[in-house]
A and B are shown apart, each in its own frame.
Chain A
Amino acid sequence: MALLDVEDLSVTFRRRGQRTVHAVDGVSFSVDAGEVVALVGESGCGKSVTSLALMGLLPRRGAQVGGSANFDGTELLALDQRSMRDIRGKDVAMIFQDPLSSLNPVIPIGIQVTEVLVRHRGMSGDAARKEAANLLDRVGIPDPRRRLKEYPHQLSGGMRQRALIAIAVACQPRLLIADEPTTALDVTIQAQILELLKELVRDSNTALIMITHDLGVVAGMCDMINVLYAGRVVESARRKELFAAPRHPYTVGLLRSIPRLDVGRGEKLTPIRGSVRDVLPWSEGCAFAPRCDRRIDASIGEPPPMVPTHTGHSYRCVNPVPVEEKA
């Protein structure tokens, strides 16, 4: 059995006077211990809302969460606030995109790290301080003892993200959710942080859910990849298979539209037409159909089912891209 099993997760935002938004519309995936699973998609595909729903961080009013998320026998979606708080930070931890707004600007880094240790690991002041310095050292922050006394604004963006990761891994969580952890960082710093995350996962057998829009990041580090579009998983495959033989037209379109470093000047990109706004509600057919070149009559009318293959690869399309015609 997997460490985390998400089954048919849905999040609906209802607000007075506004249109109801199905931000997440039936997402299923699972994560094993020590596995890196990616949720990939563009803005508005529901990847971040999925992670917030798992962490119980959605506003209680206005957001309706359905489906199930079984974390090692515990149903995350059914937990009350208090038990969720116990799990959060201890068993499941999260790393956000913007380290500056995720850290409290008026509290020294050290206290923010020790706080977690005291609360979840029941450590006393001195032991916690020592452990905090160890943690900062482990995430590659130089001179950790002095850093403990400093405030977030005194650290660079990359160092702040390291500090945030230190807080996240302080209690040796079994599941780490990283929501665009490197989007705000420069490429060379991104490489450092990704390397650090890989190391942490390898050394501690932690499971990692990587939420990103960058297929390049995914290609380098994720075992299992779920491509999201308009709140649903449209394709799910192991890393090499997804890139070697993508089946869903959206995945193929994404891969063809990214400029690649190893492809020369002047080679035409094939963009996906329209914009992310042009979606069909899933209840009316395939959400990607309005932008899809391979849409057929069967794409409209009813939602396409997830088609599994024998290799564990599955896609939600009635007219998939043939395997030979690879991107």
Chain B
Amino acid sequence: MTLASGQKKDKLDRLSELAAVRDDEQGVSLWRDAFRRLRRNPAAIVGAAILLLFVLVAIVGPFLVPYDPAAQIGVQQGVVRSGAGIIPGPSSDHWLGYDHQGRDEFSRLIAGSRQTLIVGVVSTVIGLTVGVLLGGLSGAAAGLGGRWGRWVDNVLMRIVDMLLSVPSLLLAVSFAAILGPSPATVMIAVGAVSVPVFARLLRGSMIAQANRDYVLAATSLGVGRGRIAISHVVPNSLAPVIVQATLTLATAIIEVAALSFLGLGSQVLGQPEWGLMLAEAQRYLGVRPALAIYPAVAIIITAFGFTLLGEAMREALDPKLRK
């Protein structure tokens, strides 16, 4: 109790200021707040690092590869004779050895990352776009549209349900049958499979948001329904969709690999892609199982990165976990 009274007053004022919000800083929006929490999450950092590495490799990797990923060096030099079961393993020149056609495995793995990334991103974007359009329309109709809106929503959702009830592989195979096997087929098929997920997610989230009081408040301010949907309901419903998109990227890469494995993907000779590499390696599992392990591990690590980031984003964006 030796503090002079003036000092005490100062201290009190300082402390009550600390408790209240200070007035010299800007407000923190929810997105920024979420990003701040994301940065503090180790899982997010690890996930982001993996993905950064993956994207970097996909962009510059193909220019830096030691050998042409399509050149059958091993066959030309006569070291690889896969028919006779001779596929040499890692050496100082060829870090991961040759593949069954005598191409440099390391170069193929690096070069394949680009194709894998493109296919994963494009198919997710296809699914996201169509899903968000369907779900957004449906959600807006159900949440704000009254009687007619509920009818529109019902029709749209039954279409989505039909899409959901077809097994994804069957869908993809049918697409391939119609369009012929190509990377585009794979991307459309994988995208189509994720459409119902995005549509249902956005719709549910929008209906929940449309029942919140702030929508009623905007209505009572005299704001029109369309504007309410675009400026209030959709922005508040997007967070789960963004999280889902990150997670879908992971599954898209795996599904693309699966479809390529079935021979529905890239038919351009020699173009490396992880799924295709995995598919080709199966015939030589007895000779050199490592040929299957390399692309498999690459796929798993990438998917893991997306999943980590997605989960961390889910946590960061969850309003209930905010302090």
Give the interface of A toward B (CB within 8 A). Answer: 17-18, 274, 277-280, 284-285, 289-290, 295, 297-298, 300-302
Contacts and interface: CB of A to CB of B under 8 A. Distances in A.
Interface centre among A274, A284, A285, A297 (most CB of B within 10 A): A297
B16 A278 contact: yes
A300 B16 contact: no
A164 B323 CA distance: 31
B40 interface: yes
Contacts of A297: 5, 8
A173 to B, nearest CB: 33
Interface of B: 1, 3, 5, 8, 11-12, 15-16, 19-20, 40, 323
A284 B15 contact: yes
A260 B285 CA distance: 83
B15 A277 contact: no
Nearest to B6: A297
Given A18-B323, A280-B15, A284-B15, A301 B20 contact: no
A125 B8 CA distance: 67
Given A280-B15, A290-B15, 7 more contacts: A278-B20, A279-B19, A280-B16, A284-B15, A290-B12, A290-B16, A300-B12
A277 B21 CA distance: 10
B7 to A, nearest CB: 9
The 5 A-B pairs at the shortest CB distance, nearest first, are namely A290-B16, A300-B8, A278-B19, A297-B5, A300-B12
A17 B20 contact: no
Contact of A301 (B3, B16, B19): B3
Nearest to A279: B19
Given A17-B40, A280-B12, A300-B12, A290 B19 contact: yes
Contacts of B3: 300-301
Nearest to B12: A300
A285 B5 CA distance: 14
A277 B20 contact: yes
A277 to B, nearest CB: 6
A18 B323 CA distance: 9
A71 B19 CA distance: 37
Nearest to B13: A290
Contacts of B20: 277-278
Interface centre among B3, B11, B12 (most CB of A within 10 A): B12
Nearest to A296: B5
23 contacts: A17-B40, A18-B323, A277-B19, A277-B20, A278-B19, A279-B19, A280-B12, A280-B15, A280-B19, A284-B11, A285-B12, A289-B12, A290-B12, A290-B15, A290-B16, A290-B19, A297-B5, A297-B8, A298-B1, A300-B3, A300-B11, A301-B1, A301-B8
A301 to B, nearest CB: 5
Contacts of A280: 12, 15-16, 19
B5 to A, nearest CB: 5
A287 to B, nearest CB: 10
Contacts of A18: 323
A298 B3 CA distance: 10
Nearest to B323: A18
B292 to A, nearest CB: 40
A277 B15 CA distance: 12
A301 B11 CA distance: 9
Contacts of A298: 1
Contact of A302 (B1, B15, B40): B1
Nearest to B21: A277
A276 to B, nearest CB: 10
A294 to B, nearest CB: 14
A302 B323 CA distance: 29
A176 B3 CA distance: 46
Nearest to B8: A300
Interface centre among B3, B5, B19, B323 (most CB of A within 10 A): B19
A101 to B, nearest CB: 15
A318 to B, nearest CB: 11
Contacts of A295: 12
Contacts of A300: 3, 8, 11-12
Nearest to B11: A300
Nearest to A285: B12
B148 to A, nearest CB: 32
Nearest to A289: B12
Contacts of A17: 40
